[in-house]
Amino acid sequence: LISKLPRVGTTIFTRMSGLAQAHNALNLSQGFPDFSPPEGLAQALGEHAMRGHNQYAPMAGLPRLREAIAGQLALHRNVAVDADTEITVVPGATESIFCAITAVVTPGDEVIVLDPVYDSYEPAVELAGGRTVHVPLRAGSFDIDWVKVEKAITKRTKLFMLNSPHNPCGSAVSAKDLDILGELAQKHGFLVCSDEVYEHLVYDGRKHCSVLQHPVLRSRSFAHFSFGKTLSVTGWKTGYCVAPPELTRELRKVHQYVAFVAVTPVQHALADFLETQPDYPSSLAGDYQRRRDLFITALSGSRFSWTPAAGSYFQLLDYSDISDEADTELSERWTRELGVASIPVSVFYETPPEQRVLRFCFAKSDEVLLEAAERLCAI
């Protein structure tokens, strides 16, 4: 058997969560909340299943959910999106990102990714016969170095992968970044795949900058969103992709044969929620900022250093004043010995730089965050 993905093993998230479980550690590794979804959501799911909403939904998603999503985009982003031709409900952003890449990348195409890069993009590009071209984010700030990006563009560049707020770094792009990307995309004729699953988690008064709000990028992008993040139901694996009609048509050609549909009673429950509590996502930034601040304030006596995450629910901690150990080894050792699991950042690079950084998920209850910080302070 010739492997199509010879360098791929089990994801770091599965491995670290497994290790956390085996050692009964506080799991700040894999990104998922340890608290309940908003009131009423789980009950609605049960009720819809009981009421008989158990067969296939329309391929592009329930019309009422797509209308509710269009309402969300108007309310939170001030953009007009056609629910029929531009929104596709999918079983998770992972699936729609895979479908978008598969729909547009042909053998020999190049796809620009920014390192550290979320782990699902590269295998999708490789399975499509494309090649990823890795451009590192600026060390320390994790901003995009647009000079380096421009140098990486060739005639074969088909797609640019953007992720903001960023996993694992917690950085976020500015409107100026999108202007530069828009100019480059237009000049060189490439498309953009924009992973915005943490769109509502931006802190300290920042505003999320979406490709949907940028006129040039709006016409050349797939934008991906996840209810897993927005409504704290990662296990429901439901999200959506917004793209202009011609890109949506291509995405759906793949989606209809990868998953065909997203789960029906889940879509009904999400529609109920968004129809009745359209403002709910606005409460997320304050809630998660409080959790971030609780965690980093509790670490203030430690020898870690950090820049507070601008977005996402991940906080990077630099441990270079504590240890010279590689992050892959240290994250495992601290899971076993300290009972705190984290994610090593080097695994998301083609060529890891000289840095000593671990990622901690702060989508956790106050007790877990405080206990984890106390153990980390004791090092």
The gap from C-alpha 322 to its chain's centroid, in whole angstroms, comes to 29
Q: How many residues bind ligand PMP (CB under 6 A)?
A: 14
Q: Contacts with ligand PMP in 83-112 (CB under 6 A)?
A: 92-94
DSSP 74-94: HHHH-----TTTSEEEES-HH
Closest CB to ligand PMP: residue number: 92
CA 116 – CA 97 distance, rounded (Å): 17
| 193 binding ligand PMP? (CB under 6 A) | no
With CB under 6 A as the contact rule, the residue among 102, 132, 157, 167 that binds ligand PMP is: 167
CA 118 – CA 106 distance, rounded (Å): 21
Count Cα neighbours of 376 within 13 Å in the Cβ-side half-sphere: 31
163 binds, among ligand PMP, ligand GLN, none (CB under 5 to 8 A by kind): ligand PMP
Angle at 254 between CA 251 and CA 259, to 5 degrees: 110
Angle at 359 between CA 4 and CA 141, to 5 degrees: 100
With CB under 6 A as the contact rule, the residue among 72, 210, 226, 267 that binds ligand PMP is: 226
368 contacts: CB under 8 Å, gap ≥ 6: 26, 28, 34
Structure tokens at 284: 């997320």
Q: How are beta strands 340-341 and 26-27 bridged, if at all?
A: parallel
Least distance in Å: CB of 285 to ligand PMP?
17
Site track 10-49 with ligand PMP (rule: CB under 6 A), x = hit: ---------------------x------------------
Least distance in Å: CB of 316 to ligand GLN?
13
30 binds, among ligand PMP, ligand GLN, none (CB under 5 to 8 A by kind): ligand GLN
Q: Which is nearer to ligand PMP, 195 or 272 (CB)?
A: 195
Q: Which is nearer to ligand PMP, 237 or 255 (CB)?
A: 237
Q: Which is nearer to ligand GLN, 247 or 341 (CB)?
A: 341
| Binding-site ranges for ligand PMP (CB under 6 A) | 31, 92-94, 118, 163, 167, 195, 197, 226, 228, 234, 237, 239
